[in-house]
Structure 1
Amino acid sequence: MDLNNINTDDNPDVILIGAGVMSATLGMLLHELQPDLKMELYERLDVAAAESSDAWNNAGTGHSAFCELNYTPERPDGTIDISKAVKIAESFEVSKQFWSYLIEKNQVKLPDFFINSIPHISFVWGDANVQFLRRRYEALTQCNLFKGMQYSENPLQLKEWMPLVMEGRTNTDKVAATRMEIGTDVNFGALTRRMLHRLETNGIKQYFGHEVRKIRRTSTGYWRLTVKDLRTGDKRKVFSKFVFIGAGGGSLPLLLKSDIPEAEGFGGFPVSGQWLRCTNPEIIEKHKAKVYGKASVGSPPMSVPHLDSRFINGKKELLFGPYAGFSTKFLKKGSYLDLARSIRPDNLRPMISAGIRNISLTEYLINQVRQSPEDRLHALREYYPNASPDDWKLEIAGQRVQVIKKGPKGGGVLEFGTEMVSAADGSLAALLGASPGASTAVSIMLKLIQRCFPAQVASEEWQQKLKKMIPSYGQSLSKDAELLQRVRGWTSETLGLPRIGANYKQDAGQQVA
């Protein structure tokens, strides 16, 4: 997309749809790269980051694949595939670099509770799972990004790491855990709102309570958006040469309305969630980790169970879940007709095909919806044996839309990650999907910029700016141990996190007796 020809009228150069972390990140990147760009943002709700980016609607885990077992699948021969884990870990390092740059340059004044240090732990039980975790640990610690990971099968050591998980555990199953001291908890809602506030002070117009109803390509190459003011009911048309659709679960319907050929065959499968939230301050204080386990067979990645210390608006919280559910809404504050309205002739076959191929997922969701309070308590007690129902309250979590796209021979494939879809000329892009999402937002938006603005990215001016914002830009942190150490030292100091190597060995993984 060529942005050198700045519009001569009042139309924006860039339109951002959705006031979440993705739009905020893209807006900040573009403003730093080309400050004279005219941008406008449209959000259907009255506040920013109220859907997927809100602290209560996502796990808040700084996803770096330290503890998420679904990012390291076991191959048929028993070896562990760490490729996805390496990619995600490196992406989170990129995010931390950009946040550190914004803070250093006083572009964003982040609250103290934006990012906090919290150990990331993987916990399993049973011989087969223990063997898997040991092989995972051995594979990951060969990579620079995971140096310093600790592994133990010693119940006394595990009790020190996670007392709630081990107290009252009387079964004779073998247990094991890995631990990364440098894990984080991130309030993506707070981060998003601060970035959008900065964009507003830089002259970026933001329209809340405004819903984009239509997107059409004009003969002149502009995109024409029909926007409705939900307060007054008034509609107006806005034109722009570039549009980013970053509306979470609402991205798919808008992408389909654009009628770009690249969107053909895409569909979505909504998955809702719930948390058990601890109400007992004494229990909350005793747990100081994010403890992730293995997902049930057939469950989506967002349903990986975890007993999770959180820091939300300056207050420590403790959550367990999520418990999956099903709703035809694409957004938490959406319409029950969202799923039906997304079905089109070109995506009907892929959606049916994906449904047939994922019967286990359907069965899992049905069972989750039918769960009683006793069932949810039973699941909690697998991670916290002494849990009392009086200390926990059920809360509604966020809504996610898993991507369905055309597969071989016109069938459908259900994707559990994020998917970027863009027009051939780079004039429109949309982000679909869920986890790891917010944690890798900077890497995702850098990829979008490279795809949609190739000429500018290739210029010396933009290259210099990108390397200033992301010191590791164009280099591999997983392969360059010295660069990784320098970058982590800088970001830790800037973000107020513990210095690397302060409390554990940086040069090798640790197996604890």
Structure 2
Amino acid sequence: MSDRQTNADVILIGAGIMSATLGSLLKELVPDWKITVFESLASAGEESSNEWNNAGTGHSSLCELNYTVEKPDGTMDINKAIKVNEEFQVSKQFWSYLVNSNLIRNPRDFIVPVPHMSFVQGEKDVTFLKKRFEALSRNPLFAGMEYSDDPAKLAEWIPLMMKDRDVNKPIAATRSTAGTDVNFGALTRMLFNHLKSKNVELKYKHHVEDLKRTSGGLWEVKVKDLAGGGTERHTAKFVFIGGGGGSLHLLQKSGIPEGKGIGGFPVSGLFMVCQKPEIVSKHHAKVYGQAPVGAPPMSVPHLDTRLIEGKESLLFGPFAGFSPKFLKTGSMMDLITSVKPHNLFTMLAAGVKNASLTTYLIKQVMLSKEQRMQELRQFIPDANSEDWDLLVAGQRVQIIKDTAAGKGTLQFGTEVISAGDGSIAALLGASPGASTAVSVMLEVMERCFPQHMKEWEPKIKEMIPSYGVKLLEHPELIREIQTTTSRTLGISGELHLVQ
């Protein structure tokens, strides 16, 4: 065992998009702080942030139907859609700052314009989509969104999906050319390359086994060197746990009271993928539909154009799978070992309340390829199973906790858990996750470094001009931000990558 001990101002656990974003923000604000990053795998962005482990949607509520809810009186609640869109505007501002500062050279290496669409069938869903469109289109954040129920217009927008489709029943779609495809794996690697150039210590193949508070108020992190075999101890004033599904176990090991009573339920994602140019070239959009009745929000089906390493492909899904692992590279014991006395009854309550989810997952796991193809044919009527392969994507751990809605409530979102003194924070949850990374990391900073925020505010506003401003109260600022970020990031219009 190594006796090596080091001290840092900040320790980041996990080399994904969240740690990359927090580290990049802090290095701009306090360049002299010493930051150390620990990652179990051999490189950055290999779990949930990896480009093949997520759908790459720049989540901004332009197409995601589950971000809008029809209320009992028939009106449309768009509050979540507004929140997600505003958070993506924040991310685009920070990415633009990085480009303008030459910290990222070519934004096209991680973000490209791809129209975002919602597509529905049947009178009930067409009525819902029309109401959604009318509510969103009145909002400046969603300016330029189009609606059509004309099969001829839809054939222009989505020719692959309209070929051989029965148009005798109601169909409709909305379309926004402001949508994006984001390679979060590439962005993560860019940010860590930048951090390395700023003397951030990146320690790959280093697994954090434990962490505890020292008598002096620091956090001591016990780390196993997976390559060298030794054990190291590192201390820091602040620790951020950004290990994706692995964050829950480390939060529990921290012992902070804020982490008590929280459980997690793992869900794996599977996609059908097509890489045949003659098919891929006929579809250029991210098209989201309605989740089946009784299915959880993360099961919203979508057909996506993806650009990875200069090559276009199509992804359809997600299909839910089940594994007790909390990470794709995790342990089969992850779920069992996450159950503690303080969250046992919360987990049991969740099991009772979500029996339908369990049934849904079992049915999804049992699907044959042909059954998955039948679901794909709701989007592409003449889809041929020989053209599509199954891709196992990343693991997501949905938060379970007691809320006002009841004991053992399953949460579908992203949440920051932090100690009362701000010395440690953990990120739990899933979508819209990576798209809102900058907003979430600003929240971490506001919670954990309140004594510095006034001093940091001018620099933050330089990086993110809308910081501290409610965008909806400043429509002119919305237009300015959308114009400048689109120009800087090269996403001001549609990019047809394959002709």
- Which TM-score band (shorter chain)? over 0.9
CA distance in 2, matches of 1:14, 1:478: 35
2:312 is equivalent to residue 316 of structure 1: yes
CA distance in 2, matches of 1:262, 1:93: 30
Aligned partner of 1:397 among 393, 397, 414: 393
CA contact (8 A) 2:276 2:313 kept: no
Task: Name the structure 1 match of 2:454.
Answer: 458
Aligned partner of 1:478 among 472, 477, 498: 472
Letter in 2 for 1:491: T
SS in 2 for 1:378: helix
CA distance in 2, matches of 1:110, 1:190: 11
Task: Name the structure 1 match of 2:158.
Answer: 162
SS in 2 for 1:11: strand
CA distance in 2, matches of 1:16, 1:201: 17
> Structure 2 vs 1, CA of residues 364 and 223 (structure 1 numbering), >3 Å: closer, same or farther?
same
CA contact (8 A) 1:215 1:258 kept: yes
Q: Which moved further from structure 2: 323-332 or 403-412?
A: 403-412
Task: Name the structure 1 match of 2:200.
Answer: 204
Letter in 1 for 2:470: S
SS in 1 for 2:451: helix
> Structure 2 vs 1, CA of residues 409 and 90 (structure 1 numbering), >3 Å: closer, same or farther?
closer
> Structure 2 vs 1, CA of residues 160 and 257 (structure 1 numbering), >3 Å: closer, same or farther?
same
Letter in 2 for 1:218: T
Aligned partner of 1:331 among 311, 327, 330: 327
Give the drift of 1:374: 1.3
CA distance in 2, matches of 1:292, 1:410: 30
Give the drift of 1:445: 0.4
CA contact (8 A) 1:94 1:442 kept: yes
Letter in 2 for 1:164: L
CA contact (8 A) 2:244 2:428 kept: yes
> Structure 2 vs 1, CA of residues 279 and 103 (structure 1 numbering), >3 Å: closer, same or farther?
closer
CA distance in 1, matches of 2:47, 2:64: 23
Q: What is the count of residue pairs matched by the alignment?
A: 491
2:177 is equivalent to residue 174 of structure 1: no
- 1:392-441 per-position Cα deviation (integer Å, ceiling 9, x unaligned): 01111111000011235972111000011000000000000000000000
CA contact (8 A) 1:110 1:191 kept: no
CA distance in 2, matches of 1:401, 1:110: 33
Give the drift of 1:154: 0.5
- 1:224-248 per-position Cα deviation (integer Å, ceiling 9, x unaligned): 1110011122101111110000000
In structure 2, list runs of 5 or more residues that go unmatched. Answer: none
- 1:312-357 per-position Cα deviation (integer Å, ceiling 9, x unaligned): 1111111111111110000011111000110000111111111211
2:160 is equivalent to residue 126 of structure 1: no
Aligned partner of 2:443 among 447, 452, 465: 447
Task: Name the structure 1 match of 2:357.
Answer: 361
> Structure 2 vs 1, CA of residues 113 and 346 (structure 1 numbering), >3 Å: closer, same or farther?
same
CA contact (8 A) 1:493 1:499 kept: no
Aligned partner of 1:467 among 457, 461, 468: 461
> Structure 2 vs 1, CA of residues 92 and 409 (structure 1 numbering), >3 Å: closer, same or farther?
closer
Task: Name the structure 2 match of 1:31.
Answer: 27
2:279 is equivalent to residue 283 of structure 1: yes
CA distance in 2, matches of 1:337, 1:298: 29
- The TM-score with structure 2 as length reference comes to 0.96
Task: Name the structure 2 match of 1:6.
Answer: none
CA distance in 2, matches of 1:190, 1:266: 32
SS in 2 for 1:291: strand
Letter in 1 for 2:442: L
Aligned partner of 2:37 among 41, 50, 54: 41
Letter in 2 for 1:296: P
Mapping for residues 96-135 of structure 1, pairs under 5 Å = 96-110=92-106, 112-135=108-131
CA contact (8 A) 1:113 1:311 kept: no
Task: Name the structure 2 match of 1:490.
Answer: 484
> Structure 2 vs 1, CA of residues 340 and 366 (structure 1 numbering), >3 Å: closer, same or farther?
same
Calculate the aligned-residue CA RMSD, in Å: 1.5
> Structure 2 vs 1, CA of residues 181 and 111 (structure 1 numbering), >3 Å: closer, same or farther?
closer
CA distance in 1, matches of 2:107, 2:464: 22
Task: Name the structure 1 match of 2:211.
Answer: 215
CA contact (8 A) 2:55 2:315 kept: no
SS in 2 for 1:397: strand
2:46 is equivalent to residue 50 of structure 1: yes
CA distance in 1, matches of 2:238, 2:78: 36
CA distance in 2, matches of 1:455, 1:444: 18
> Structure 2 vs 1, CA of residues 473 and 373 (structure 1 numbering), >3 Å: closer, same or farther?
same
CA distance in 1, matches of 2:402, 2:474: 37
Task: Name the structure 1 match of 2:81.
Answer: 85
CA distance in 1, matches of 2:106, 2:231: 35
CA contact (8 A) 2:67 2:78 kept: yes
Give the drift of 1:111: 5.4
CA distance in 1, matches of 2:493, 2:227: 49
Task: Name the structure 2 match of 1:508.
Answer: none
CA distance in 1, matches of 2:405, 2:305: 45
In structure 1, list runs of 5 or more residues that go unmatched. Answer: 1-8, 503-513
2:154 is equivalent to residue 187 of structure 1: no
SS in 1 for 2:222: strand
CA distance in 2, matches of 1:168, 1:489: 38
CA distance in 1, matches of 2:15, 2:161: 37
CA contact (8 A) 1:125 1:175 kept: yes
Mapping for residues 192-271 of structure 1, pairs under 5 Å = 192-271=188-267
CA distance in 2, matches of 1:448, 1:355: 31
Letter in 1 for 2:153: Q
Give the drift of 1:361: 1.1
- 1:470-512 per-position Cα deviation (integer Å, ceiling 9, x unaligned): 0111112233211111111111111111269x9xxxxxxxxxx
Moved over 6 A (4+): none
Letter in 2 for 1:115: I
